[in-house]
Amino acid sequence: MKYLLDTNVLINHLRGKNRIDKTIIKSGVAISIITWAELIYGTYKSVNKEKSLAIIKALIEDLQITILSLNEKVVFQYAELKVELEKTGKILDDFDLLIAATAMTNKITLVTHNTKHFRRISTLKVY
């Protein structure tokens, strides 16, 4: 597994915009449990929750996406990142920091359409 997909990448892929590069998919992809939560939240807001949930589950299965849980290493990485960013006045929301911490802890590259946002974290590999 080489890549962690951000929520916006999956949403754009589903909408037919900025499809995920096949090379990335073949290299092995994962999402954070945080991304999974954001996707499920989106299905609950949908007019047809069951259909939206089925689409999301099919995408996860079709792309063979691994869902990475939070663990102690991710939590400590998150805390370290948050403190460092607060010192410099560069704030990211907690969900984004947890996604970044997941990528860093697993030594994989974050694929996002929000590169400027995540480049505030100099040690994070962003695609």
**62 part of a folded domain:** yes
**124 part of a folded domain:** no
pTM for this structure? Answer: 0.93
**30 part of a folded domain:** yes
**102 part of a folded domain:** yes
**65 part of a folded domain:** yes
The token duo for 69 is: 């849980």
Q: How confident is the model at residue 63 (pLDDT cuts 50, 70, 90)?
A: very high
Q: How confident is the model at residue 18 (pLDDT cuts 50, 70, 90)?
A: confident
**127 part of a folded domain:** no
Q: Which residues contact 91 (CB under 8 A, 6 or more apart)?
A: 85
55/46 Cα distance (integer angstroms): 12
Q: Which pLDDT value is given to residue 1?
A: 79
| Mean pLDDT of the 49-73 span | 96
> pLDDT tens digits for 90-109?
889 999 999 999 999 999 99
Q: Which residues contact 54 (CB under 8 A, 6 or more apart)?
A: none
127/125 Cα distance (integer angstroms): 7
Question: What's 11's domain CATH number?
Answer: 3.40.50.1010
Q: Which pLDDT value is given to residue 89?
A: 93
Q: Is position 96 annotated in a ligand binding site?
A: yes
Report the domain count for the chain: 1
